[in-house]
Amino acid sequence: MDQYLPKAKEFISFIDKSPSPFHAVAYFSDLLKKNGFVQLSEKQMWDVKPNGKYFFTRNQSMISAFMVGGKYKPGNGFNISAAHTDSPNFKVRPVSNVENVGYLQVGVETYGGGLWYTWFDRDLTVAGRVIVKVGNDQYESRLVHINKPILRIPTLAIHLDRSVNTDGFKYNTQNHLVPMIASKLSVPASAKPEDTSSTTNNSGAKHHPILLELLAKELGCAVSDIQNFDLSVVDTQPAAIGGGFDEFIFSPRCDNLVMSYCSVNGLLNVKESTLANEENVLAVVLYDNEEVGSSSPQGACAPLINDTISRVNTALFSEQFKSHELNNFIDLSLRNSFLISADMAHAVHPNYINNHEPLHRPALNKGPVIKYNANLRYATTCPTSFVILDICKKNNIPIQEFLVKNDSPCGSTIGPIISGTYGIKTVDIGNPQLSMHSIRETCGVADITHATNLIHKFFEQFTQLNNVKSDLE
């Protein structure tokens, strides 16, 4: 296991610096710039060239990076690995000032389908972005992460509800998931709500002054400069390597920052010499809002891939072609493309073996998982799974296969959304993990390397493989 630890430790460093999608995108933006990628703006025309490396963002929470093959021609395909940056959490409400029996609390809204009971009795804080006034009619969006415990959702003592051990732990998401931030007794008598647009409305203060003061201190601004924010409640416990042989990663947000991280690093591992001989565009797309249906400008339901393919074809469209041929080239690019939908998979659970299909029980540290579902909850097909199996075989990368039991519901991914919308050949894969959607998840140390290698080899070898075996469509 020792040979896999360096990559796992790099991942842990990333996860601790990425408490929100905004932070993850900022991390990847810096990483891409350090590796020679040029940032593009969707508000301007793109000047892209063969052998060029580029990226762009949306909403500060989605990022797409791509490398144009040196032999790319309009109509050639895109080799894409797509993942998502968001995870289930609590969002601070627009009006969050809750007060009960002497406690100041922060009203929150559930985001996604979390295992919410795992959030009780944890040391919590907030992270996200804040719109800050920096001058007369001038504003900027700043990232914030208060890196200390300021919130807590306490459980009820067993003495006050002894049925919890016989009837199960029951809670109401509206009434019982309200973090406390302070006691009213501790509030200075002179403290009054600030009279600003962000802190007051017709019914009084929108947020407790202590929350705004903590944000202002972290941001280095006045409370009155805070105009608005998008904050998530997050755990303060850092990610860690554990297990008797250092084989596990205990971490928040494995779903789906693991596959986001492996996708970007797989792209960065592509050699310049390989890119020079590449006929396709190699791309990573990290969407936001997958956990709530993907229906946003930064989600997989938006025409982002089609827009990117269109822009690249337009930028490289030669005068030798007739103008009406451009749409044909865009259609050709879609048909010649292949997408990996990279999202975490369910590892077999030693205490709940019967919840897994007997012949499809992925294990930690045995490689990524190809996910199948006959009812199209995943986009994997016979030809697309063969591509992954063949790449893994050629490169000695361990691979596993998964599907749910007939009497079990099946989750879904961005794979069916993209493949069904654009007709792009798609396969669903992901690293195995335990405790998906818990505040604290578990995945394998070795699988960080395995998934990165798979995506790297997909980028380097798919075009040639597709040319040889194009009759499989």
Digit-coded pLDDT (tens) for 360-387: 999 999 999 999 999 999 999 999 999 9
Closest residue by Cα to residue 451 from 362, 374, 359, 380: 362
Cβ atoms 346, 433 nearer than 8 A: yes
Closest residue by Cα to residue 261 from 27, 20, 436, 2: 27
3-state SS record for the chain: CHHHHHHHHHHHHHHHCCCCHHHHHHHHHHHHHHCCCEECCCCCCCCCCCCCEEEEEECCCEEEEEEECCCCCCCCCEEEEEEECCCCEEEEEEEEEEEECCEEEEEEEEECCCCHHHHCCCCEEEEEEEEEEEECCEEEEEEEECCCCCEECCCCCHHHCCCHHHHCCCCCCCCCCCCEEEEHHHCCCCCCCCCCCCCEECCEECCCHHHHHHHHHHHCCCHHHEEEEEEEEEECCCCEEECCCCCEEEECCHHHHHHHHHHHHHHHCCCHHHHHCCCCEEEEEEECCHHHCCCCCCCCCCCHHHHHHHHHHHHCCCCCCCHHHHHHHHHHHHHCCEEEEECCEECCCCCCHHHCCCCCCCCCCCCCEEECCCCCCCCCCHHHHHHHHHHHHHHCCCCEEECCCCCCCCCCCHHHHHHHHHCCEEEEEECEEECCCCCCEEEEHHHHHHHHHHHHHHHHHHHHHHHHCHHHC
Closest residue by Cα to residue 68 from 261, 301, 258, 314: 314
* Length, in residues, of the chain: 473
pLDDT attached to residue 1: 84
Q: What is the C-alpha separation between 174 and 110, in angstroms, rounded? A: 9
pLDDT attached to residue 321: 67
Q: How many CB atoms lie within 10 A of CB 190?
A: 5
**pTM of the full structure:** 0.95
Q: What is the C-alpha separation between 114 and 439, in angstroms, rounded? A: 8
For 58, 84, 263, the CA distances from 342, given in Å and listed in that order, are 20, 8, 8
pLDDT attached to residue 201: 36
Q: Phi and psi at residue 371, in whole multiples of 5°?
A: -105, 130
pLDDT attached to residue 411: 92
CA 175 from centroid of its chain's CA atoms: 29
The yes or no reply on domain 89-235 and CATH 2.30.250.10 is yes
pLDDT attached to residue 192: 54
Q: Phi and psi at residue 225, in whole multiples of 5°?
A: -80, -15
The domain segmentation of the chain, as residue ranges, is 2-87+252-472, 89-235
51, amino acid identity: N
Q: What is the C-alpha separation between 126 and 230, in angstroms, rounded? A: 10
Specify the CATH number for 2-87+252-472; select among 3.40.630.10, 1.10.10.10, 3.40.50.300, 3.40.50.970: 3.40.630.10
Omega prior to 365 cis, within 30 of 0: no
pLDDT attached to residue 469: 60
pLDDT attached to residue 322: 63
Per-residue pLDDT of the chain (473 residues; tens, 9 = 90+): 899 999 999 999 999 999 999 999 999 999 999 999 999 999 999 999 999 999 999 999 999 999 999 999 999 999 999 999 999 999 999 999 999 999 999 999 999 999 999 999 999 999 999 999 999 999 999 999 999 999 999 999 999 999 999 999 999 999 999 999 999 999 887 665 544 444 443 334 899 999 999 999 999 999 999 999 999 999 999 999 999 999 999 999 999 999 999 999 999 999 999 999 999 999 999 999 999 999 999 999 999 999 999 999 999 886 566 666 788 999 999 999 999 999 999 999 999 999 999 999 999 999 999 999 999 999 999 999 999 999 999 999 999 999 999 999 999 999 999 999 999 999 999 999 999 999 999 999 999 999 999 999 999 999 988 766 656 66
- Torsion, Cα of 11, 37, 270, 469 (10° steps): 110
Put the strands of the sheet holding 432-434 in their side by side order. Answer: 240-242, 248-251, 441-444, 432-434, 345-346
| 2-87+252-472 shares its CATH topology with 89-235 | no
Cα angle 309-78-71, degrees, rounded to a multiple of 5: 100
